[in-house]
Amino acid sequence: MTKRKYKAESKRLMEIMVNSIYTNKEIFLRELISNASDAIDKMYYKSLSDENLNFNKDDYYIEISVDSEERTITIKDTGIGMDEKEIDKNLGTIAQSGTLEFKNALEKEEKPSEIIGQFGVGFYSSFLVSKEVEVLSKKFGEDKAWLWTSDGVDGYSVEEGKKESHGTEIKLYLKDNSEDENYDDFLNEHRIESLVKSYSNYIRYPIKMLVTKTRVKDESAEKPEYEEYKELEVLNSMIPIWKKNKSELKDEDYINFYHDQHYGFDEPLTWIHINVEGVVSYRAILYIPETQPFDFRSKSYKKGLQLYSNGVLIMDKCDSLLPDCYSFVKGVVDSEDLSLNISREVLQEDRQLRVIAKNIENKITSELKKILEKDREKYEKFYENFGQTLKIAVYETYGMEKDKLQDLFLFYSSKEKKLVTLSEYFDRMKEDQDKIYYATGGSIETMDKLPQGSNLKDKDIEVLYLTDSIDEFVLKVMGSYKEKEFSSISQELESSEETADKDPIFDKMKDILGDEVVEVKGSDNLGDNPVALLARGDLSIEMEKVLQYQDN
Ligand code: ADP
Ligand code: MG
């Protein structure tokens, strides 16, 4: 049998592909800028192996210009350019990435690579907004330039073109406006500027554009007259925010970065900007979100921080940088000390990475303690969302995380009528009190009325009301706090039973209740309450309920 090749109507295919990959037309600019940046990177790499080629930073840039009359946008770069063969191959074949080939060649030599392209489709996104595209390119070291033109439907043509220096110029002839799309929007300077800022802000080369400004025409005139003029401006910030000094940055900058990186739709509750210089140096910006990430409770949620090396993204979600108890933290870590010749999988095991992870963990812990101390309201907001995550971490590690996390816990206090820490409880303990008491079961109001607690109440002893079903499990795993054992108020009642007072009525009651109860006893510690139900053994009634629920 002979294998046959698929036939495809290329003009339909192109349309389907471009429109199905990209839901958002505006990304065409990001794609073309990324390609331009890759082309300059290639010059940079060339200079590393070519002694005759000096990489003078000022010569490398990307320039966007807009012509409102012609309705065109041009993206120009001073990168490596393409010769005739490359133009034909890279722009004439869908899913052909010259950049990927280049990158693969580099990786063999284990050189760092900050190159973006890989899929070989980004370029075609220009047809989302253009009815015609012209690419004029001249490869570095060649004499001839080439002009590629296409309307995206009937194929493309390549002919010799005219261009002074190496690099590429891509000219987009915008589509005609229709009822649902106004392409003229992309001719607006502010629109271009904001697109560059949101998608291409950390491109390492300057992205310039002629922008319109106004100035006073004649300084000496009494009534100032204004005039417009054009000035070349760099639109992107190039230097990533985490590389800047804290003093240069406003709250707004941190909040914008949080949104730019899509860490969450909410506002960050707080952030930590870290700059560590030492055995292992790194910079990081970590965020604690104000609300739970939308998929936080689902199995598909993945913790992790973005990992950059030298401003280059290595991994988008490096999970070994975050312990489970802080899985809600978002942010970015950048270190020059990660050995880049290590492949990405090995990086997980990197010793440097572990040092950074430990350090980050400590920073988060101390930041949370600081908020708890300085801004209780903010902390309670945090605790409402992520307190359970901390508790689960202690429970699931059988108490291994106890020392780190126990002072971050909050429980409702019978005495203070609000959330308190274990250390606050500890400080208020009576001189002869050797246990930390807690109640479980239902709402705060219910627990407040439990007969089991009335004895302690009479003695003015504080009780923690556990409102989260995991709480008691956590306290059991912890066992004690500063050597004071945790004790359920019902256990307490049991140990204080008055066994001497053995009225025959109790035997009668046991007869009637049969297997429903183990025993019926008298107690002096019930206050005004006629009766209290107690659990036998180590599990409280509440815990039994939870376990039963889990089993089913
Ligand atoms: P990708 O960037 O994922 O490789 P694209 O469709 O964006 O895919 O681009 C296809 C190829 O065309 C690139 O890999 C590159 O070889 C070439 N190319 C595109 N734009 C330029 C440019 N401005 N300068 C040089 N080569 C380019
Ligand atoms: Mg690309």
Q: Quick one: angle between helices 471-478 and 376-396, nearest 10?
A: 70
**Does 77 appear as a known binding residue?**
yes
The DSSP line for 70-91 is TTEEEEEE-S----HHHHHHHH
Q: How many CA atoms lie within 13 A of 189 on its CB side?
A: 13
**Does 31 appear as a known binding residue?**
yes
Ligand lying closest to the C-alpha of residue 139: 1
Please give the distance, rounded to the nearest whole angstrom, from the Cα atom of residue 512 to the centre of ligand 1.
85
**Does 90 appear as a known binding residue?**
yes
Ligand lying closest to the C-alpha of residue 90: 1
Pocket, ligand 1, Cβ cutoff 6 A: 31, 35-36, 39, 77, 79, 81-82, 90-91, 97-100, 117-123, 168
Q: For residue 342, what pLDDT is reported?
A: 33
306-335: pLDDT as tens digits? 988 766 566 778 999 999 999 999 999 988
Please give the distance, rounded to the nearest whole angstrom, from the Cα atom of residue 66 to the centre of ligand 2.
21
**Does 118 appear as a known binding residue?**
yes
Higher pLDDT, 56 or 550: 56
**What is the spatial order of strands in the sheet that 207-216 belongs to?**
156-161, 145-150, 130-138, 167-174, 72-77, 62-67, 207-216, 226-234
Q: Which residues contact 112 (CB under 8 A, 6 or more apart)?
A: 309, 310, 312, 340
Q: Whose CA is nearest to atom 27 of ligand 1?
A: 35
Ligand lying closest to the C-alpha of residue 120: 1
**What is the mean pLDDT of the segment spanning 405-409?**
97
| Positive or negative: CA dihedral 339, 342, 344, 349 | negative
Q: Whose CA is nearest to atom 21 of ligand 1?
A: 35
Tokens 């270190």 belong to: 335
* CA gap 391, 474 in Å, rounded: 6
236-295: pLDDT as tens digits? 988 889 989 999 999 999 998 898 788 988 899 999 999 999 888 999 999 999 999 888
Q: For residue 101, what pLDDT is reported?
A: 83
Higher pLDDT, 424 or 264: 424
**Does 155 appear as a known binding residue?**
no
Q: Whose CA is nearest to atom 15 of ligand 1?
A: 98
364-382: pLDDT as tens digits? 999 999 999 999 999 999 9
42 CA closest ligand 1 atom index: 25
Q: Whose CA is nearest to atom 19 of ligand 1?
A: 35
Q: For residue 349, what pLDDT is reported?
A: 58
Tokens 């297997």 belong to: 515
Give the residue, out of 75, 90, 147, with the most ligand 1 atoms within 8 A of its beta carbon, to mutate for a pocket test: 90
497 pLDDT band, cuts 50/70/90, is: low
Tell me if 336 sits within 8 A of 283, measured CB to CB: no
* CA gap 324, 296 in Å, rounded: 12
31 CA closest ligand 1 atom index: 7
Please give the distance, rounded to the nearest whole angstrom, from the Cα atom of residue 348 to the centre of ligand 2.
28
Q: For residue 346, what pLDDT is reported?
A: 40
Say if residue 495's pLDDT is above 80. no
Task: Cite the DSSP H helix spans in 375-453.
Answer: 376-396, 402-405, 422-428, 444-449
Give the residue, out of 21, 27, 38, 119, with the most ligand 1 atoms within 8 A of its beta carbon, to mutate for a pocket test: 38
Q: Which helix (H) or strand (E) holds 510?
A: helix 504-513
Query: How would you classify the pairing of strands 463-466 and 411-413?
Result: antiparallel
Q: For residue 40, what pLDDT is reported?
A: 95
Tokens 């707004």 belong to: 252
Give the residue, out of 77, 97, 165, with the most ligand 1 atoms within 8 A of its beta carbon, to mutate for a pocket test: 97
Average pLDDT, the chain: 87
**What is the mean pLDDT of the segment spanning 221-241?**
89
**What is the mean pLDDT of the segment spanning 164-176?**
97
* CA gap 354, 334 in Å, rounded: 14
Please give the distance, rounded to the nearest whole angstrom, from the Cα atom of residue 256 to the centre of ligand 2.
26
Give the residue, out of 123, 148, 158, with the most ligand 1 atoms within 8 A of its beta carbon, to mutate for a pocket test: 123
Please give the distance, rounded to the nearest whole angstrom, from the Cα atom of residue 39 to the centre of ligand 2.
10
Length of the chain: 552
Q: For residue 340, what pLDDT is reported?
A: 47
**Does 98 appear as a known binding residue?**
yes
Give the count of beta carbons closer than 10 Å to the beta carbon of residue 246.
Answer: 10
Say if residue 465's pLDDT is above 60. yes
Please give the distance, rounded to the nearest whole angstrom, from the Cα atom of residue 212 to the centre of ligand 2.
29
Structure tokens belonging to residue 242? 């985490």
Please give the distance, rounded to the nearest whole angstrom, from the Cα atom of residue 138 to the centre of ligand 1.
14
Structure tokens belonging to residue 373? 């101390």
Strand partners, 269: none
Ligand lying closest to the C-alpha of residue 103: 1
Q: Could you tell me how far CA 152 lies from the centroid of its own chain?
A: 37
Please give the distance, rounded to the nearest whole angstrom, from the Cα atom of residue 152 to the centre of ligand 1.
16
Q: For residue 341, what pLDDT is reported?
A: 38
From 37-46, 77-86, 506-515, the region with the lowest mean pLDDT:
506-515
**What is the mean pLDDT of the segment spanning 330-352?**
66
Q: For residue 185, what pLDDT is reported?
A: 94
Q: Report the Cα–Cα distance between both ends of the chain, in Å, rounded.
A: 56
- Residue type at 400 in one-letter notation: M
Please give the distance, rounded to the nearest whole angstrom, from the Cα atom of residue 260 to the centre of ligand 2.
20
Say if residue 163's pLDDT is above 60. yes
Higher pLDDT, 206 or 219: 206
Q: Which residues surround ligand 2, an ion (CB under 5 A)?
A: 35, 117, 122
Residue 126: DSSP 8-state? G
**Does 387 appear as a known binding residue?**
no
Share of the chain above pLDDT 90, in %: 53
Ligand lying closest to the C-alpha of residue 99: 1
63-104: pLDDT as tens digits? 999 999 999 999 999 999 999 999 999 998 877 888 888 877
Instruction: Report which listed range, 433-437, 444-448, 521-525, is most confident.
Output: 433-437
109-146: pLDDT as tens digits? 555 456 666 667 889 899 999 999 999 999 999 999 99
Structure tokens belonging to residue 114? 């900050």
Q: Whose CA is nearest to atom 18 of ligand 1?
A: 35
| Cβ density class 276-313: b for 16+ within 10 Å, e for less | beeebebbbbbbbbbbbbeeeeeeeeebbbbbbbebbe
